[in-house]
Amino acid sequence: MAAAPLTLESSLPTHLGVDIPLVGYGTYKVGAVPHSTTIKYTPDRSTAEIVVDALEAGYRMLDCAEYYINEEGIGEAIARCNVPRKDLFLISKVWNTTVYKGEAAIREAVQTTLKALRTDYIDLYLIHWPVVGKHVEGYKVLEKLHEEGVVRAIGVANYTIEDYEMLKMEMKIKPVVNQLEISPWCFRPKTLNYFQNEGIVLQSYRTLRQAQCLDDPLVVKLSAKYKVTAAQLLGRWCIQHGFSFIPKSTNRSRMEDNLRLYHFEIESADIEALDAQTRPETLKDFKAKYADCVVRDTPMQGDLSQVPKSYTID
């Protein structure tokens, strides 16, 4: 029996019975810039103005985070648009500093997010990075929050196979999602296959690489072949792999374009060609980013002796 065609309403089932929408809107650096980010700029519009555009364009899953320091603006946008809460899928992530501090801090962060987003529950709550020596205990707090009904589903972000194996030894509730950077230039089949085989939905950020690779020769060639934009090609590549796709743009017309993924299908040979774009230097960059981020904004920051010595990067 042929698989059902993908549509704007498509979602990915999870073991907790909470379906993950196939496409959502990313809010990193939307109207605000986190304090410890390495690349800074001055936003020219408010978070609320931009997220209103996203909601009006048709997005219903919003990917938020404590670290992004813009959840109040997102809550304001939701209130302005009067989208029924039941039609929204709100994700948030707890930041390293909070995970490091422990349960009381995590509970306080959840309440801050609920107030900012003007809601009484979160659809999906994630550990943002596997903070060295702290993420397993942090995840146990998320399990409690799920059992208490504060969050409908829980998951992780940026976990390696080894991070998950460590968590697996002590968790009671399997994560529904692992949110990872996934693109043709950061395609790690061993890791991706592992988590898919574990029954964990993969949610992709930076698939569009902040527009840095939209002029890649292969992308240009295939975009012309399918008569779509480069961003649409990459989004379709993502969802054809079965990943939940979280694009981000602050431009209204590009927001709309990034949702138009359902009128074409990429041939298998072209999917394979895109899969083959990852290079050793990209994996080296991933390793450096991971080593920085699993201790960032904690007392361990800068101390590479705290970072795991061996982990799967491909």
Active site residues: 68
Question: Alpha-carbon distance 33 to 42, whole Å?
Answer: 8
List, in order, residues 6 or more apart from 238 with CB less than 8 Å away.
182, 204, 207, 245
Task: Tokens 């982990």: give the residue.
Answer: 311
Cα of 8 vs its chain's centroid, Å: 18
Task: Tokens 């397993």: give the residue.
Answer: 136
In degrees and rounded to multiples of 5, residue 89 shows phi and psi of -125, 105
- Least Cα distance to 263 among 242, 243, 233, 241 occurs for 233
Hey, how many other C-beta atoms are within 10 angstroms of the C-beta on 297? 19
Q: 3-class secondary structure for 160-220?
A: CHHHHHHHHCCCCCCCCEEEEECECCECCHHHHHHHHHCCCEEEEECCCHHHCCCCCHHHH
Q: Are 14 and 201 in contact (CB under 8 A)?
A: yes
CA angle 296, 134, 292 (to 5 degrees): 20
Question: Alpha-carbon distance 76 to 250, whole Å?
Answer: 17
